[in-house]
Chains A and B, each alone.
Chain A
Amino acid sequence: GQQVMQIPQYQHVQEGEDFTTYCNSSTTLSNIQWYKQRPGGHPVFLIQLVKSGEVKKQKRLTFQFGEAKKNSSLHITATQTTDVGTYFCAGPSRGAQKLVFGQGTRLTINP
């Protein structure tokens, strides 16, 4: 079946350092979504990318969708303690209106 893989699984950085998580799908995606889950919280939608090669920014967060629409990345510039959490990518399953979530990248930050 369709798989969405994320790397790394864990990332620990010093506050102020940059952070990137990568997402790869086994199949071409019509779109990709990113979610953030704070410790003890629930996943919260961040953004959706639809177009090949699309780049979107939200303040210090930059999201990219690959040209082949099989991979995506999330880059955080100058991390802050508020960025702590697990970041998930998710892509729609072929032929079904459901999302397949990656395993997530857990970001911890040393203040």
Chain B
Amino acid sequence: DAGVIQSPRHEVTEMGQEVTLRCKPISGHNSLFWYRQTMMRGLELLIYFNNNVPIDDSGMPEDRFSAKMPNASFSTLKIQPSEPRDSAVYFCASSLEGRVTYNEQFFGPGTRLTVL
């Protein structure tokens, strides 16, 4: 298995531009998570999906951020308009979750976003 795939690996953009990050989870996994990591705030959960349905988006910073999961093999995180404070590494992770189990999460390599 190729693991969780994220693209792009690096993104440099200017303030005000739209940024779209992409994620392909591990085949067969039913849960997908988007995290943001910075030195100041550590690893933060932004949103997670279960069976393609957004379950908890309480970590999404503001309306500029949106995430979709149109099918079991693809998810996007969009920032519009982007701001310098959005600069961070964004990780996508997937797992196979049961109703009462909490299984390991498999992280993708991340997208390093720089907003100038």
Interface residues of A (CB under 8 A from B): 30-31, 33, 41-45, 48, 88, 92, 96-101, 103-104
What are the interface flags for B42-72 relative to A under an 8 Å C-beta threshold, 1 for contact and 0 otherwise? 1101001010000110000000000000000
Residues 65 to 81 of chain B near chain A (Cβ within 8 Å): none
Q: Besides the contacts A99-B45, A100-B45, what 13 more A-B pairs have beta carbons closer than 8 Å?
A: A30-B102, A41-B109, A42-B109, A42-B110, A43-B91, A43-B107, A45-B106, A97-B31, A97-B48, A97-B97, A99-B102, A101-B43, A101-B45
Nearest-neighbor residue (CB-CB) of B106 within chain A = A45
Query: Contact size class for B?
Result: 20 to 34
From known contacts A42-B109, A98-B48, infer whether A48 and B43 are also in contact, taking CB-CB under 8 Å.
no
Q: Main secondary structure on chain B at its contact with chain A? A: strand
Q: Please, how many angstroms separate the alpha-carbon atoms of A96 and B48 in the complex?
A: 10
